[in-house]
Chain A
C-alpha cells in the first residue's frame, strides 16, 4: 500500500527566506506525486504534480518540487516565502496504474513570520 511521510509538524520561516516542506513516499511501482495546500476551514487546493519527465516541477504561486527517486522524496520549495503562504501543506502519492486512490501525508503547518 502506498504511504507518505511528512516528518515535520510545523515549519517556521521568515518572510523572504527560502521555504522547504519535506515529503518522502513509499509505493510499489512508479509513483504519481502531488502537493496540495489547505487554508483554515477550506478545502484542499492543488499546487503541483509529478508524473514523469523532468524531476523539477513547477506549480502555482511560485512553488516547485523536486522528485528524487533514489531518496523516494518529493520536497516542496519556494525561493522566497510570503506571509500569505502560511497554511497547511499536504503531500500525496498514488500508483501509476490503479484506481487513482490518493494517500495523503499528515500535513505540515507552514508559518511565515513577517
Chain B
C-alpha cells in the first residue's frame, strides 16, 4: 500500500539552529499539506501545495518557516532559527487533488517528524 514518506522521524536541535523536514507524497497526489501538531492539540495547517504552487500559507510563520515543492512532487519544510515553541510533531499529508467542486478525497498522512528544541 502506498504511503507518505517523511524524514527524519525524530529531530533534536538547539534553539537558533536550522532544521529541515522532508516529505514524499503518494505517487500521483497533486496536493501536499504540512501540518503542525503541538502535544495535546489537533493538527493545524501550516502550508498547502497544489502541484508546485502554494495554495494556502496563511498560518505559516514566514519570518522563520519556509516550504517548497519545486518539482511538484516531494517537499521540504525548513525552520530557521528554531525556537523552543517550535517543539511539535510535523505531519505531512497528501491527497489526489484539492481545488474544484466535488472532491471528496481524504488526506493520507505520513508518520510525522517529531521536533524537540532545547
Cα–Cα, bound, A101→B48 (Å):
8
Q: Are B109 and A49 in touch, CB under 8 angstroms?
A: no
Number of A residues, CB within 8 Å of B: 24
CB <8 Å contact, B91 and A44: yes
Shortest C-beta distance, A106 to chain B (Å), equals 5
Q: Which residues of B contact A107 (CB under 8 A)?
A: 40-42
A103 → chain B closest CB, angstroms: 8
CB pair B42 A100 closer than 8 Å? no
Report whether B45 and A102 are in contact in the complex, using a CB–CB cutoff of 8 Å: yes
Q: Closest CB of chain A to B107's CB: distance in Å?
A: 6
A47 to chain B, nearest CB (A): 9
Interfacial chain A residues near B55, Cβ < 8 Å: 99
**CA of A49 to CA of B105, assembled, Å:** 9
Name the distance in Å between B34's Cβ and chain A's nearest Cβ.
12
CB–CB B45/A101 < 8 A? yes
Known A49-B104, A99-B55; contact A43-B41, beta-carbon cutoff 8 A: no
A106 — which chain B residues lie within 8 A by C-beta? Answer: 40-42
Residues of B within 8 A of A102 (CB): 45, 107
- 12 more contacts with CB within 8 A, not counting A99-B99, A104-B44, are A36-B109, A43-B6, A43-B111, A44-B43, A46-B108, A49-B106, A97-B101, A100-B99, A100-B105, A105-B42, A106-B41, A107-B40
